[in-house]
Structure 1
């Protein structure tokens, strides 16, 4: 074996680790080329021989199912949301939240497009969409609750709007290719699009949107 071949060869792994490495490499290849890669491309991305793929997956369809399960698994998102510091200023908390939602949604949309899916396949998603929404809402509520006095609406409603805008702003088709950054989304949420002048603040902010009185 040449030195180059040894350098490219993946380190020794047990079957579970090898399976995980191949799934991760496949997801990465899909995001890069936006189509389902060939087994040769997957093997190259994972640093394994092409035959190794079929020692841990019986068929390419089994690999495809594993990729979908990995893509829709909410655990990584939940873990990252739980690490956000709720003591930060509200704007930074929201930027952190929307960044994570964009990351998950962009990856999900890319995989679905690459595999020709119009909706998540229920047989490949281990957790119900309703439970994912409820758990996500709960995490956002925990982060936003300390800032309730800064908002004109309950944190539950505000968190719902955050998720809606993050979804639309990261969806390539909905945004017509002009997806939003986390900062753009958050600044529209917090400050709107109206010009506010010192001489006429009441005209810039309608009465029904005025902040509640502090107590």
Structure 2
């Protein structure tokens, strides 16, 4: 029988972090070491041996996920047939990623905010990587690729941030439509959704 290879210390810590993340998102800073150990399927002593204490483990969770390989690198390997397809796929991926990060930072509290502040340079670098992906469509843009990247990330954050039980007002589809077509309704969009120019006009303009 082939022996099961032992995990390295780093791999073991990464495995524990992934295992405890859902529980940490649910309970936030109030989570106990017992709950963390149960989520990881290990003894509390194992957690202490791997991370030292609960606070160190929670910080490690935040740093692990915020330092994860930028998902734009995965998108960069994809081939898109049009600007619309690129914005649609990238926008949806950004919203999903940012919703997770928002929940993570809220759950971690002050520690999460410190981690985000420490990674400001990484966040800015990711904007430039996204701008590079907009570059092939430069001739179709009314703004520079860097501005397009900044606008997409800003709108994605608007569709991601929520406080308490309140859901974000905007959806991923909302921000994609706004970025591609603006917020002003046209005759074409009114025809597609079954509304008329008269119905969409302000009361003061109706005859």
TM-score normalised to structure 1 length: 0.72
Q: Is the 8 A contact 2:131 2:148 kept in 1?
A: no
Offset at residue 149 of structure 1 (A): 1.8
Matches within 5 A, 1:129-140: 129=120, 131-140=121-130
Conservation of the 8 A alpha-carbon contact between 1:43 and 1:53: yes
- Using the TM superposition, give the Cα deviation of residue 178 of structure 1 relative to its aligned residue in structure 2, in angstroms: 2.7
Deviation at residue 166 of structure 1 after TM alignment: 0.8
Residue 114 of structure 1 pairs with residue 104 of structure 2: no
- Report what 1:4 is aligned to: none
Q: Which residue of 1 aligns with 2:179?
A: 189
CA contact (8 A) 1:39 1:50 kept: yes
Any gaps of 5 or more consecutive residues in structure 1? 1-10, 199-203, 205-215
1:134 positional shift = 3.1
Q: Which residue of the partner structure matches residue 54 of structure 1?
A: 48
CA distance in 2, matches of 1:194, 1:125: 35
CA contact (8 A) 1:30 1:110 kept: no
Query: Following the alignment from structure 1 to structure 2, what is the Cα–Cα distance between the partners of residues 193 and 128?
Result: 33
Q: 1:172 aligns with which of 142, 147, 162?
A: 162
Q: How far apart in 2 are the matches of 1:162 and 1:112?
A: 21
1:15 corresponds in structure 2 to 9
Equivalent in 82, 85, 105 of residue 98 of structure 2: 105
> Unpaired runs of 5+ in structure 2?
189-196, 198-207
- In the other structure, the counterpart of 2:84 is 91
Name the count of aligned residue pairs: 184
- Give the number of the structure whose residues are more often helix, by fraction: 2
Q: How far is the alpha carbon of 1:119 from its aligned partner? A: 6.5
What is the TM-score when the length of structure 2 is the normalising length? Answer: 0.75
8 Å CA contact 2:24, 2:107 repeated in 1: yes
Q: Which moved more, 1:87-96 or 1:162-171?
A: 87-96
